[in-house]
Amino acid sequence: MSRIARVWVVVEYAKAGILGTSFEALGIARDLCADGGVTAVVLGEKVAHLAPRFFPYGADRVLAVEDARLKVYRTEPYASALAALARARGPQLVLFPGSTRGRDASAALAAELGAPLVVDASDIRVEDGEPVFTRPSFGGNLFSTIRAVGVGPRLATVRARAFPMPTATDGRSGDVETVAPTIDDAAIRTEVLGFEAETGSVVNLVDANVIVSGGRGLGKPENFSLVRDLADAVGGAVGASRAVVDAGWIPYVHQVGQTGRTVKPKLYIACGISGAIQHLAGMRTSDTIIAINKDASAPIFKVATWGVVGDLFEIVPLLTKKIRARLGK
């Protein structure tokens, strides 16, 4: 397989730390790129000190783009700085994590450069020195193989958890270059006034290793406590079907499916979810799926690794209790 000479990974860094998908993107970049060609690009006010975090996962060099205007993520200064750098240095492929911010930044950069962008790549390989992408659409029901047309850099966001987390190579190091970017002040049209963090249980479904989801089978909103308790026992996030979100049982941020979040946890436990096609679209690529439902003909059993036909009001609390006991919780 031929390789690509210069690949950039625009890593995501915020108050919460470095987003995990950034490392997954570095791993695939390492596989696609010629030796010495992987650059981790990190933007912020002071970010050069983060460089040692990226070398063990595949970066050959780190470009620390430092400017007070980049302190908090905003679309326009990020896109402006990245566009100027990409024009000057000519990366052939620029990867972003498939987070809301990665999608936002990559789209703005694509618009700025007029560059082709593949959103949500689940596989990338190299043919004749060109990246060839695979991406899901129709809620994971169709996988398209795509090639970019024309000249200039190819951009892609990397689907969270689609690529393995690379193993860290200790002692690996490289060059760190700090650059003051060119940012078009006239292009800045926004000001971040604040961030209102969600409180309570973990709801970042995209990053969760384990998700426990509830549906209509729970009968009434109060019974979501069964799902929350099991999620708590397994250290997972709480998901939900569209039906119960639309019924107002639980906020939209929990919704898994075509009009909610697409997730790919290591373990997905569906409680009282029949498995409408729109729901399956959002979770069918989970590594392991457990379905608990009283209706043996429910479509959820078609994608389940292990299914239990039975009364969730009996099974779910018992499962929670036994897992707590085994984990010493």
Partner 1 sequence: MRSIVCVKRVPETPTFEIVPPTGLRFREGTNFAMNAFDEFAVEEALQQKDKHGGEVVALSLGPAENEKILKDCLAMGATGAFRLWDPEFGGGDPFATAYLLSLAIRKLGDFDLVFCGREAIDGQSGLVGPLLARALGATPITYLAKIREIDLSGRTLVVERQLEGGREVLKARLPAVLCCTKDINHPRYPSLLGIRKAAKVEVPVWGVAELGADAARIGAAGARLRVESVAPPPARAGGELLAGDAEQVTDALVERILGLKIL
- Contact window for partner 1 (CB under 8 A) among 2-10, 27-35, 63-71, 306-314: 306-314
Q: Does 151 bind partner 1 (CB under 8 A)?
A: no
Contact 249, 268 (CB under 8 A): no
Residue numbers 206-235 binding partner 1 by CB under 8 A: 206-207, 209-210, 234-235
Neighbours of 3 (CB within 10 A): 13
How many residues interact with partner 1 (rule CB under 8 A)?
91
Q: Cα 133 vs. chain centroid, distance in angstroms?
A: 17
Select 224 or 268, whichever has its Cβ closest to partner 1: 268
Q: Does 34 bind partner 1 (CB under 8 A)?
A: no
Tell which one of 3, 46, 87, 266 touches partner 1 (CB under 8 A).
266
Q: Does 131 bind partner 1 (CB under 8 A)?
A: no
Contacts of 176 (CB under 8 A, 6+ apart): 48, 51, 61, 62, 64
Tell which one of 35, 185, 189, 297 touches partner 1 (CB under 8 A).
189
Alpha-carbon gap, residue 46 to 160, rounded angstroms: 26
Contacts of 215 (CB under 8 A, 6+ apart): 240, 241, 243, 244, 270, 271, 272, 273, 274, 279
Q: CB of residue 34 vs partner 1: minimum separation in angstroms?
A: 24
Q: Does 191 bind partner 1 (CB under 8 A)?
A: yes
Q: CB of residue 99 vs partner 1: minimum separation in angstroms?
A: 6
Select 68 or 296, whichever has its Cβ closest to partner 1: 296
Task: Compose the 238-257 pattern: x for residues touching partner 1 by CB under 8 A, - for all others.
Answer: -------------xxx-x--
Q: CB of residue 66 vs partner 1: minimum separation in angstroms?
A: 22
Alpha-carbon gap, residue 268 to 239, rounded angstroms: 9
Q: Does 260 bind partner 1 (CB under 8 A)?
A: yes
Contact 220, 226 (CB under 8 A): no
Which residue reads 């239990």 in tokens?
Answer: 308
Q: Does 315 bind partner 1 (CB under 8 A)?
A: yes
Encoded tokens for 298: 């429910």
- Contact window for partner 1 (CB under 8 A) among 24-32, 38-46, 176-184, 191-199: 191-199
Q: Indicate the residue type of 325.
A: A
Q: Cα 94 vs. chain centroid, distance in angstroms?
A: 16
- DSSP structural state of residue 167: P
Residue numbers 53-112 binding partner 1 by CB under 8 A: 75-76, 99-101, 103-104, 107-108, 110-112
Burial degree of 194 (CB within 10 A; 0-12, 13-18, 19+): exposed
Q: Does 304 bind partner 1 (CB under 8 A)?
A: yes
Q: Does 125 bind partner 1 (CB under 8 A)?
A: no
Select 174 or 215, whichever has its Cβ closest to partner 1: 215
Encoded tokens for 11: 């890593």
Across the strands, what pairs with 156? 95, 118
- Contact window for partner 1 (CB under 8 A) among 32-40, 45-53, 162-170, 287-295: 287-295
Identify which of 10, 9, 51 has the alpha carbon closest to the alpha carbon of residue 32: 9
Q: CB of residue 22 vs partner 1: minimum separation in angstroms?
A: 13
Coil, strand, or helix at residue 286? coil
Q: CB of residue 178 vs partner 1: minimum separation in angstroms?
A: 27
